[in-house]
């Protein structure tokens, strides 16, 4: 379990972002640029203009940012490693919340992390074991939460999205209340997931998604893959991954 004060702070911040309660956001969220991706969206242009006129003194511009947030038909937040036992708490605080529970083969996840952190094999396997235990625990809480809120929670598997990006994107769009996926959005998805040559940058959106999903099998030594599969066998079986 997370530290209680950290848990409360995380849930409070998420609730404030999702409900456009910008004026009460912790100052660090605005000062440290946690919302910097949203700042590049066209509806946020008035906020950027306000900052430029006020020497980047954000307290004078929070009302402008709140108005921009409220103009969105959908307000979303991507969180990483949020324990699923907290999701029912968040749904209680934001009754119309929709949650997309996104999972990936833990062996692929650790391959990606290993490229950044350069773990030794023994440490690598230890981190994998912890990841698999967390995934198993999260799935237990997901099952309970889905039973209580079936219309508000959707499970999306990374590999399914990678192999069928348009189909799964349409399903997510419908889940969020949309009808037909906008033509421009579908065209962007097709262009950015069927690249013949993926960008060398890990952060690039231009990739062959099907190839990327299975690339960890070529990146890792067979012996290490066997060890990883054994360490994570129970979790892999729960999620239906090939051993």
* Residue 228 contacts residue 222 (beta carbons within 8 Å): no
Tokens for 34? 């946690």
* Residue 220 contacts residue 111 (beta carbons within 8 Å): yes
Residue with tokens 């960008």: 199
Give this prediction's pTM.
Answer: 0.84
Give the count of beta carbons closer than 10 Å to the beta carbon of residue 69: 20
- What integer pLDDT is reported at residue 241 of this predicted model? 92
- What integer pLDDT is reported at residue 204 of this predicted model? 44
Report phi then psi at 157, rounded to 5.
Answer: -95, 130
Taking the C-alpha atoms of residue 111 and residue 198, their distance in angstroms, rounded to an integer, is: 17
Beta-carbon contacts of residue 74 (< 8 Å; ≥ 6 apart): 176, 177
Residue with tokens 């939460």: 145
Give the three-state DSSP class for 200.
coil
- What integer pLDDT is reported at residue 32 of this predicted model? 56
* Residue 66 contacts residue 22 (beta carbons within 8 Å): yes
Taking the C-alpha atoms of residue 91 and residue 54, their distance in angstroms, rounded to an integer, is: 37
Report phi then psi at 156, rounded to 5.
Answer: -120, 125
- What integer pLDDT is reported at residue 158 of this predicted model? 95
Beta-carbon contacts of residue 137 (< 8 Å; ≥ 6 apart): 83, 84, 85
Averages of pLDDT over runs of 10 residues in the chain (243 residues) are: 74 91 81 62 81 82 86 85 92 95 95 80 87 97 97 96 94 91 92 65 56 87 94 96 88
Cα dist. 236→5, 106, 147, 239 in Å? 32, 8, 22, 5
- What integer pLDDT is reported at residue 203 of this predicted model? 41
């Amino acid at each position: 379990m997370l530290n209680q004060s950290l848990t409360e702070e995380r849930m409070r911040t998420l609730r404030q972002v999702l409900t456009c309660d910008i004026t009460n956001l912790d100052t660090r969220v605005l000062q440290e640029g946690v919302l910097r991706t949203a700042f590049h969206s066209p509806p946020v242009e008035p906020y950027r203009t306000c900052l430029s006129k006020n020497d980047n003194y954000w307290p004078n511009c929070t009302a402008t940012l709140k108005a921009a947030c409220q103009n969105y038909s959908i307000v979303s937040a991507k969180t990483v490693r949020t324990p699923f036992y907290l999701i029912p708490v968040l749904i209680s605080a934001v009754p119309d919340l929709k949650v997309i529970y996104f999972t990936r083969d833990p062996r692929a996840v650790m391959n990606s992390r290993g490229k950044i952190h350069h773990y030794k094999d023994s440490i690598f396997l230890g981190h994998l074991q912890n990841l698999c235990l967390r995934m198993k625990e999260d799935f237990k809480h997901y099952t309970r939460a889905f039973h209580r809120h079936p219309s508000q929670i959707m499970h999306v598997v990374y590999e399914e999205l990678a192999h069928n990006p348009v189909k799964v994107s349409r399903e997510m769009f419908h889940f969020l209340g949309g009808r037909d996926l906008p033509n421009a959005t579908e065209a962007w998805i097709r262009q950015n997931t069927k690249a013949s040559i993926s960008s060398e940058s890990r952060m690039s959106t231009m990739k062959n998604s099907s190839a990327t999903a299975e690339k960890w099998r070529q990146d890792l030594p067979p012996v290490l893959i066997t060890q990883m599969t054994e360490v994570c066998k129970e979790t892999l079986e729960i999620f239906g991954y090939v051993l």
